[in-house]
Structure 1
């Protein structure tokens, strides 16, 4: 499945705007899920996965 970068950028900006105005309801959650699905189909998916794995490793290594 080929997804254009413009679609991912547009949905990302829409999610950012909704979070900025503190208005995130059920339709917005569906938009966020669609964004995640489309992002996973792009070439950015390995970079995002690597960043999340690094973040989880960092947070898992913290001792309180």
Structure 2
């Protein structure tokens, strides 16, 4: 069985769970989101995207 979900949606859910669970306060969460937003507009974005795509691809090849 294959489950496909957007990485952005998955990370958003993790962020909400961490905030609601008390592991992460709202201030640092906002700073993290803003950092990611501005990092996406730098010249490093394509390399980060390739790295994440490769890691997700390797995880996707794991058969249970």
Fold match by TM threshold 0.5: yes
Structure with bigger helix share is: 1
- Which ranges in structure 1 are unaligned for 5 or more consecutive residues? 1-22
Q: Alpha carbon RMSD of aligned pairs, Å?
A: 1.1
TM-score by length of 2: 0.61
Structure 2: where are the runs of 5+ without partners?
Answer: 1-22
Q: Which has the higher contact order (CA 8 A, sep 6+)?
A: 1
How many residue pairs were aligned? 42
Using structure 1 for the length normalisation, give the TM-score: 0.61
